[in-house]
Amino acid sequence: MKDKDMRRVLIASLVGSSIEWFDYFLYGTVAALVFNTMFFVAEDPSIGLILAYASFALSFFIRPLGGVIFSHIGDRIGRKKTLVLTLSLMGIATFAMGLLPTYYAIGIWAPILLITLRLIQGLGIGGEWGGAMLLAVEYAPKDQRGFFGSVPQMGVTIGMVLGTLALSVMTLLPEDAFMSWGWRVPFLLSALLVIFGLWIRKGIEETPSFKKVQAEGSAPKVPLVHTLKHHWREVLIAVGAKVVETAPFYIFGTFVVSYATSNVGHTNSEVLNAVMVATIITTILIPIMGKLSDKVGRKPLYIWGAVGMILFAFPYFWMLHEGSNIMMFLATIIGLGVIWAPITAVLGTMFSEIFSAEVRYTGITLGYQIGAAAAGGTAPLIATALLMQFNNSYVPVALYIIFTAVVSLVAIWAVRDRSNQQLDEETEVLDAKGKLTEKQLV
């Protein structure tokens, strides 16, 4: 494949992923700033915040369903067609959010419609990540697979940077203007990004791995059933490995907005700026870590990041409670910008390398989305509930971060690093008794 075509593949996987996550993170941040008072109206502000975060978490539980639907299409019909569907679905839902009337205009229908659109977002993002990842990984040369697989992961942080930047600009408006119409602007402008993303993806061919599956006629009729029957161990590994990548991310990037403003005394714009700087740094580090994984392997980098999370959990809150902007910035940069980078950089490639081509879309999507549902969307909710339960003590939240890292370290303990193997190389698979059961592509 020509270098020009390879660049187009990488751009297509990155742009679409960035747009999807831009749309997705807008909701998470606005939930803490607007939705808690304008859509989820309650006498106790803490209850409104809990309800807003609960709506944020709901989409994480619908993401596995979106993953099942679109990964079925991706493994049966193709990666490219699926990516067009997911991006379109996400864009329509996000644009519609920007037009919604508030609780004060239409009452209970406001949160109902908002939650409905959030669920549609969840369906879209549930299928997007796996397609964007495979678009990059299945085209990648063997010795650059870590780098290629890290590129769509940059979409997570680029989307967050764009969302944070848009809201940082909007929060410069007078509060009345921001609460009235300012928060809506990024949602409405996302339509332009979606159109651009669809244009970029036009002309990309199906991946070599999927073409091979088509030529051999080896695609299972129901990829989900085949995956759960023959690859359930790999799915469980992926679910567990996702935990430390997702829960601390939402604590460092979303929960901190309400925590640092309510419990430490920082302003919304100060915290949003810190998150934006941290995400820019991690965006730069992700492809560097991806390249490094091509030399040292995915598993060592992942372990370094998970251990870093354990060691930094308590220092993170100590630094926040120093009360200075500098310490708050440093805490956010170290946690979200540095320690998290190697984990997310290798995650998608590591997932792709443990599933065979005919169920790869389904396998990586199930692991990723179930892990996200279990530990991602619930993280701000759990952290807020822990604060309420333990008189605003951060100790339980720090212990929760440590717990997520331990879960993931246990999950990947038995994973064999396949960095130096061809993606679809045949290997012999042994059952629990050590007997040869089948030939499997890894």
What average pLDDT does this structure show over 391-408? 94
In terms of average pLDDT, the best of 64-73, 213-222, 289-298 is 289-298
CB 434 within 8 A of CB 417: no
Gap between the Cα atoms of 423 and 144, Å rounded? 11
Quickly count: other Cβ atoms within 10 Å of residue 109's Cβ. 12
Question: Model confidence at 126, in pLDDT bands (50, 70, 90)?
Answer: confident
pLDDT at 430: 33
| pLDDT over 70 (residue 249) | yes
- Which pLDDT band holds residue 439 (cuts at 50, 70, 90)? very low
Beta bridge partners of 436: 430
191-204 pLDDT tens trace:
888 888 888 777 77
Q: Quick check: 93 and 124 in contact, CB under 8 A? A: yes
| Confidence band of 429 (pLDDT split at 50, 70, 90) | very low
**How much is the pLDDT for 292?**
96
DSSP bridge pairs for 261: none
Whether residue 112 is predicted with pLDDT greater than 80 in this model: the reply is yes
Q: What is the mean pLDDT of residues 206-231?
A: 82
**Given pLDDT bands bounded at 50, 70 and 90, which one contains residue 40?**
confident
Q: Across the chain, what does the average pLDDT equal?
A: 85
Q: Quick check: helix, strand or coil at residue 107?
A: coil
Q: What is the largest CA-CA distance in the chain?
A: 69
The mean pLDDT of 205-230, rounded to a whole number, is 82
- pLDDT of 1 reads 57
* Residue 433 binned pLDDT confidence (cut-offs 50, 70, 90): very low
As beta bridge partners, residue 202 has: none
Non-local (6+) Cβ contacts of 225 within 8 A are none
